[in-house]
Chain A
Amino acid sequence: MVVVGSPKAVDLSKAGEIIDRYMDENPNEVPEEAIIPIFQQIQEVYGYVPQSAADLVADRLGIFLTPIYGSLSFYSDFRFAPPGQKIIFLCDGAACHIRRNQVLLDVIKGRLGIGPRETTPDGKITLETTTCLGACDLAPLIEVEHSFHGNMTAEDMEKLIDSLLSSTDTTGRSEG
């Protein structure tokens, strides 16, 4: 696993609150049981799992970093670098595949130079693929900011990227 520390020091006060709250609400759990739910909440707040948060959780739960890294690196939902300001979720279900979602991937690659799980160097857009967004009659399908874009063509993808780029600011990478 590549754990990429943030270039700037991360404020861990929110992570601390998450740990406190979790331990209050689940007093009878063994420490390991808390790993996944706590990091899920941390990622929700920070957008990713900062390395220093892993240190903090190990310290507070009183467990080694090894099982923490073991679990974090196993579950693909966890991200170890800040995502872009916008995340494109491209559905890679079988229905989307046979309805040629590859065309959309090609447009994204061509326009933004990124593949799945990559972020543009300016920190604006991250591409994620998902197993199935569960609305297969809209294949091929994309979700951005809780909005679904169904029956996408290459042209639609171009337009969507245009609108995403124009709505991201130019100050660079978001810190979640």
Chain B
Amino acid sequence: MKLPEFRELQRKARADWEALQKPEKPVIIVGMGGCGIAKGAKKVLAAVEAELRRLGVQATVRKTGCIGIDSEEPLVDIIRPGRPRVSYRRVSPEMVPELLRSCLVRGDHRPDLAMATIADEAFDGIPSWRDLDFFRNQQRIVLRNAGHTDPDSIEDYIARGGYQALAKALTEMAPEDVIEEMKKSGLRGRGGAGFPCGIKWESARTDRQNPKYMICNAHEGEPNVFKDRRILEADPHAVIEGLIIAGYAIGTRFGYIYVGAEFPLAVERTLRAIKEARKFGFLGERILGSKFSYDISPKLGGGAYVCGESSALMFSIEGKRGMPRTKPPRSVEFGLWGKPTSLNNVETLSNVAQIIVNGGDWYAGIGTEGSKGTKVFSLSGMIKRPGLIEVPMGTTLRELVYGAGGGILNDREFKAVQTGGPSGGCLPSQHLDLPVDFESLDSVGGNMGSGGFVVFDETICMVDVSRYFMKFNRDHSCGKCTPCRLGTKASLEILERIASGNGREGDVELLEHTGRQIIDLSLCGLGQTAPLPVLSAIQYFRDEFDTHINEKRCPAGVCEIATEAESSLVRQG
């Protein structure tokens, strides 16, 4: 496909999309992201199709990815001719006949079952989605298509401006211009380390060795981080487009995407998107009539968390054990097959097309001084509205927990928020007004990690949580560095002893000492961050450790000693 054909395709896709928004017959859209499917969206979709047949109503049935508000899934959106799109919440297969009959036959749009309109305006008592607490402070760049387009439709993506950035980059910009724009944007890597994307690309481009490789890291193996898989499930083409532009910028024809095999839906939609992109000529020889040729090989991970680390991931693509190596040289100089390689996270690449279209200055205008743009967070734990949100960098933790998140379940007390999963720390209530960006989180012992925030309430025991994360890190240590392999094991033993009521005087100091050694003496990010959850728990909740050790008591009643104490009470009683 050459440029004029692409322009024609754009026109047609846009016209089709417009027609779909103002349809002549009803359109029904079922939320079929991972969140919706987990709650039964497939059965809801089947019920919708069956009921339409029963009613004999002509309607277009479509699917879309997660809009992010998991607590309201499964969502079913209905557009009736001349009316705005209304999203209905918590739809069960049993509700479908009544909902469809009301809306499509009786013309009653059922405000009682609705969540919001997916439009800028409210409609007859149904608020606009933008006015819901969950969405109010969101700024959706990465998630701009999530919940709107059909992830399997490349036409939908093109209609919403997709592949426009690729066309612009290939026809109007030299690779150096693309890199310059990325540097201007200030976009930092969203996989955890926060390295400036433009500088990484520049290093890869200016390295004189060839060939070079471009890899998208979609290996999200952490507990309670589901942003990358949801992005791929909702808008795979945005990632693919970013990955193609990245390949153009660094100067390679070889792209890879490394996806965790444990996310079958994300894998399926990614593979389909790659095939479609090939079919439409966005991958392959002389893309859009330019001199640039490029293709993407998908690779599936084998369930090793450490393969999120750059050198381990590259060894894994090579078919080897994914054990990180000593750096330097960094992977941008000595990466896949020993050649210069740029590795970028899914969320990072999803930003690229928008930056190219709107300019680096536009992106740099969002966020804080040191952390530009938006950040996608997966929110979970003891909150009322868990889900996936995208907010400007610098949004406060309070807004995440109490605004979008809706506050603590059962209105219990907030205790802490765990940032960055097994490589991050927990932050207590005194930090709720902290603006969330790379610098602020680091300054208080938290960690952006990959943006998975788990909220704890007063029923959570910090010793138990520390033990949980230490066990995770012990299980996932690749075993190469002794301090990590044995240090995580020793730390876990100490934590288990404390949790079981056998803690000793000095155990906390021993945990701190061991933790510092693991951090100082491990090669890769897994070891260097493995002790952070326990160290921050000690920093902020030292008294809980002391109570376990000195009084043989778990204040939250979670650890085994609590049950033993209770059972001895029962025996006495």
Chain A interface (Cβ within 8 Å of chain B)? 30-37, 40, 67, 70-71, 74-78, 92-95, 97-99, 130-139, 141, 148, 150
Question: Which residues of A are found within 8 Å of B387, using beta-carbon distances?
Answer: 137
Q: Could you tell me if B382 and A98 are in contact, using CB atoms closer than 8 angstroms?
A: yes
Please report the C-alpha to C-alpha distance between residue A75 and residue B258 in the assembled complex, in whole angstroms. Answer: 14
> Do the beta carbons of B318 and A136 come within 8 Å of each other?
no
Contacts of B322 in A (CB 8 A): 74-75
CA distance A135 to B38 in the complex (A): 7
- Asked if B468 lies at the interface with its beta carbon under 8 angstroms from chain A, I say yes
Q: Do residues B38 and A75 form an inter-chain contact, with CB atoms below 8 A?
A: no
A173 CB to nearest B CB, Å: 23
Q: A77-B261, A137-B70, A150-B39 are in contact. Are A94 and B319 (CB under 8 A)?
A: no
Residues on B lying within 8 angstroms of A by beta carbon are 34-35, 37-39, 70-71, 221-226, 229-230, 261-263, 299-305, 316-323, 378, 380-382, 386-387, 418, 421, 454, 456, 460, 465, 468-469, 472, 478
In the complex, chain B residues whose CB is within 8 Å of the CB of A34: 319
Asked if A95 contacts B454 (CB within 8 A), the reply is: yes
The residue from B35, B263, B320, B465 contacting A70, defined by CB atoms under 8 A apart? B320
Can you list 17 A-B pairs with a CB-CB distance of less than 8 A? A32-B318, A33-B318, A33-B319, A71-B321, A74-B321, A77-B302, A94-B224, A94-B421, A94-B465, A95-B224, A131-B223, A131-B472, A132-B224, A134-B226, A134-B263, A136-B224, A137-B387
Q: In the complex, what residues of A have CB within 8 A of residue B262's CB?
A: 77, 130-131
Asked whether A92 lies within 8 Å of B223 as measured between CB atoms, the reply is yes
A135–B39 touching, CB < 8 Å:
yes
Q: Which residue on chain B has the smallest CB distance to residue A75?
A: B302
Would A36 and B319 count as touching, CB distance under 8 A? Answer: yes
Q: Please tell me if the beta carbons of A134 and B302 are within 8 angstroms of each other in the complex.
A: no
B224 to A138, Cβ gap below 8 A? no
CB of A88 to closest CB in B, whole Å: 15
Chain B residues, Cβ within 8 Å of A98: 381-382, 454, 456, 460, 465
A-B pair count, CB < 8 Å, reads: 128
Contact indicator A74/B319 (Cβ below 8 Å):
no
The 5 closest A-B pairs by CB, nearest first: A75-B302, A136-B380, A77-B303, A32-B319, A135-B38
Among A70, A78, A93, A133, which residue has the most Cβ atoms of chain B within 10 A? A93
Given A32-B318, A97-B468, A132-B222: A139 and B302 interface contact (C-beta under 8 Å): no
B378 with A136: CB separation less than 8 A: yes
A102 to B571, CA, bound (A): 24
- Which residues of chain B have C-beta atoms less than 8 A from A76's C-beta? 302-304
**Is B300 touching A134 in the complex (CB atoms < 8 A)?**
no
Task: Select from chain B the residue with minimum beta-carbon distance to A132.
Answer: B223
Given contacts A32-B320, A35-B319, A70-B320, 9 further A-B contacts (CB under 8 A): A30-B319, A74-B321, A94-B223, A94-B381, A131-B262, A131-B305, A132-B225, A134-B226, A134-B229
Complex Cα distance, B503 from A170, in Å, reads 47
Interface centre among B34, B38, B299, B387 (most CB of A within 10 A): B38
- How distant is B260 from chain A, measured CB to nearest CB, in Å? 9
CA distance A34 to B412 in the complex (A): 52
Contact A67 B39 (CB under 8 A): no
Q: Shortest distance in angstroms between A148's beta carbon and chain B's nearest beta carbon?
A: 4
Q: Which residue of B lies closest to A143 (CB)?
A: B38
CB distance from A162 to the nearest CB of B (A): 21
Are A136 and B226 in touch, CB under 8 angstroms?
A: yes
User: How many angstroms from the CA of A99 to the CA of B421 in the assembled complex?
Assistant: 16
B136 CB to closest chain A CB, in angstroms?
Answer: 20
**B304 lies within 8 A of A75 (CB):** yes
A37 and B223 CA atoms in complex are apart in Å by 24
A36 touches B380 (CB 8 A): no
Contact check, A134 vs B34: say whether CB atoms are below 8 A apart.
Answer: yes
Contact present for A71 and B38 (CB under 8 Å) = no
> Across the two chains, which residue of chain A brings its CB closest to B305?
A131
Q: How many Å lie between the Cα of A39 and that of B535 in the bound state? A: 40
Of B230, B304, B317, B469, which one neighbours A33 at CB under 8 angstroms?
B317
Nearest residue, chain B, Cβ from A134: B226
Alpha-carbon distance A92/B299, docked complex (angstroms): 25
Q: Is the CB of A93 within 8 A of B224?
A: yes
Residues in A neighbouring B456, C-beta threshold 8 A = 98
A74 touches B223 (CB 8 A): no
> Given A94-B381, A134-B226, A137-B387, are A71 and B39 also a contact pair (CB < 8 Å)?
no
B residues near A35, Cβ cutoff 8 Å? 319
CA–CA, A121 to B366, complex, Å?
A: 58
Write the chain B residue with the least CB distance to A76: B303
Least Cβ–Cβ distance between A47 and chain B, in angstroms: 15
CA distance A12 to B230 in the complex (A): 37
Query: Bound state CA distance, A77 and B262, in angstroms?
Result: 9
Whole-angstrom CA separation of A137 from B455 in the bound complex: 12
**In the assembly, what is the distance between CA of A92 and CA of B469, in Å?**
11
Closest to B385 in A: A137
Chain B residue nearest to A74 in the complex (CB)? B321
Q: Which of A77, A97, A133 has the most CB of B within 10 A?
A: A97
User: Which residues of B have CB within 8 Å of A132?
Assistant: 222-226
**With A and B bound together, what is the CA distance between A174 and B39 in angstroms?**
29
In contact, A134 and B230 (Cβ under 8 angstroms): yes
* A74 B304 Cβ-Cβ under 8 A: yes
Q: Whose C-beta in chain B lies nearest to the C-beta of A91?
A: B223
| Contact between A139 and B380, CB atoms less than 8 A apart | yes
Complex-state Cα separation, A40 to B472, whole angstroms: 24
Contacts of A92 in B (CB 8 A): 223
Measured in the bound complex, the distance between the Cα atoms of B260 and A76 in whole Å is 12
Instruction: Provide the bound-state CA to CA distance between A70 and B323, in Å.
Output: 11
- Cβ contact within 8 Å between B454 and A37: no
Query: Cβ of A133: which chain B residues have Cβ within 8 Å of it?
Result: 38
Interchain nearest-CB distance for B458 vs A (Å): 12
B242 to chain A, nearest CB (A): 22
Residues of A within 8 A of B37 (CB): 148
Given contacts A98-B456, A132-B222, contact A137 B299 (CB under 8 A): no
A134 vs B266: C-alpha distance in the bound complex, in angstroms? 11
| Shortest distance between the CB of B232 and any CB in chain A (Å) | 11
The complex places the Cα of A51 from the Cα of B134 at a distance, in Å, of 51
Q: Which residue of chain A is the closest to B302 with respect to CB atoms?
A: A75
- Closest chain A residue to B409 by CB distance? A99
A137 to B90, CA, bound (A): 13
Contact A135 B35 (CB under 8 A): yes
Q: Which residue of B lies closest to A44 (CB)?
A: B261
Distance between A144 CB and nearest chain B CB, rounded to angstroms:
13
Instruction: Output the least CB separation between B119 and chain A (Å).
Output: 25
Q: Is the CB of A93 within 8 A of B223?
A: yes
Question: Separation in Å of the A94 CB from the closest CB of chain B?
Answer: 5
Query: Considering the chains assembled together, what is the distance between the CA atoms of A67 and B302 in angstroms?
Result: 15
> Quick check: B468 and A94 within 8 Å, CB to CB?
yes
- Min distance, Cβ A136 to any Cβ of chain B, angstroms: 3
A134 to chain B, nearest CB (A): 4
